[in-house]
């Protein structure tokens, strides 16, 4: 089959796009609002986009009625210039889901999801104490993206990673062992996967010139 996303002519019961770009890692983004109130929400339009320096990107869409700054998370990032991306271990999937509910601005999802805050070392927003990995980020830029729904705005937020927390328990033999915490990944629909098994594959040698 073939379909054109702008025509929405896939003929399936549900839009397959997100199921086709899967698995996607989940950024569990903690921020502070301009009054210092904590906020936490998951974003799976997320990835690392550069290594030196490390740069992360997540994209948020929101109803224009909430403009100029859409959801709490992008608004807080733009107001304060800082955010933390916490990794979601499979054990915290329920709390991650709870934190995704559309709470009014000012509601602290750490409290709503019964999570503990840990201090960050460089940025002000707290991190999730139970997350084995957290990236402290300084806001770099926001790129406005097209939106086919005139009622919604889309924006991609980029941040430079200025500090990285790794729980000592997940480091084995000088390497991070993801199978120790099993990062949660987003698939399509309401589906998820966990990384609980890995394998290594050395790259082929350079072809003779």
Ligand X SMILES: Cc1cc2nc3c(=O)[nH]c(=O)nc-3n(C[C@H](O)[C@H](O)[C@H](O)COP(=O)(O)O)c2cc1C
73 binds ligand X (CB under 6 A): yes
- For ligand X, which stretch binds (CB under 6 A), given 13-21, 53-61, 125-133, 171-179? 53-61
Among 32, 33, 38, 44, binds ligand X (CB under 6 A): 44
Q: How far is the CB of 182 from ligand X (least distance, A)?
A: 15
Site for ligand X contains 97 (CB under 6 A): yes
Measured CA to CA, the distance from residue 184 to residue 128 in angstroms comes to: 15
By CB under 6 A, tell whether 87 contacts ligand X: no
**186: contact with ligand X by CB under 6 A:** yes
* β-sheet bridge partners, residue 84: 30, 136
| Whole-angstrom distance, CA of residue 142 vs CA of residue 162 | 18
Q: What is the closest distance, in whole angstroms, from the C-beta atom of residue 163 to ligand X in the complex?
A: 22
Among residues 25, 38, 71, 82, the one that binds ligand X under rule CB under 6 A: 71
With CB under 6 A as the contact rule, which of the stretches 10-18, 43-51, 137-145, 162-170 interacts with ligand X?
43-51
Q: Does 60 bind ligand X (CB under 6 A)?
A: yes
Q: Does 125 bind ligand X (CB under 6 A)?
A: no
- Kindly state the smallest distance separating residue 103's Cβ from ligand X, in Å: 7
Give every strand in the sheet of 24-25, ordered side by side.
Answer: 24-25, 184-186, 192-194
Among 65, 102, 151, 201, the residue binding ligand X under the rule CB under 6 A is: 102
# binding residues, ligand X (CB under 6 A): 17
**Shortest distance in whole angstroms from residue 60 CB to ligand X:** 4
Binding site for ligand X (CB under 6 A): 26, 39, 41-45, 59-61, 71-73, 97, 100, 102, 186
């Amino acid at each position: 089959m073939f379909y054109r996303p702008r025509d929405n002519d896939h003929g399936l019961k549900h839009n397959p796009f997100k199921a086709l770009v899967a698995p996607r890692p989940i950024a569990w983004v903690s921020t502070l609002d301009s009054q210092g109130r904590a906020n936490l929400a998951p974003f799976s339009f997320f990835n690392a986009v550069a290594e030196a320096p490390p740069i992360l990107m997540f994209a948020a869409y929101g109803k224009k009625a909430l403009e100029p700054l859409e959801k709490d998370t992008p608004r807080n990032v733009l107001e304060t210039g800082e955010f933390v991306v916490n990794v979601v271990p499979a054990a915290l999937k329920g709390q991650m889901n709870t934190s995704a509910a559309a709470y009014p601005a000012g509601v602290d999802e750490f409290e709503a999801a019964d999570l503990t805050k840990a201090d960050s070392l460089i940025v002000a927003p707290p991190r999730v104490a139970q997350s084995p990995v957290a990236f402290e980020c300084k806001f770099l830029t926001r790129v406005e993206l097209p939106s086919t729904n005139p009622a919604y705005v889309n924006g991609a937020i980029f941040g430079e990673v200025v500090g990285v927390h790794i729980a000592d328990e997940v480091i084995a033999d000088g390497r991070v062992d993801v199978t120790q915490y099993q990062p949660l990944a987003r698939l399509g629909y309401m589906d998820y996967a966990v990384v609980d098994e890995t394998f290594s594959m050395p790259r082929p040698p350079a072809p003779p010139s």
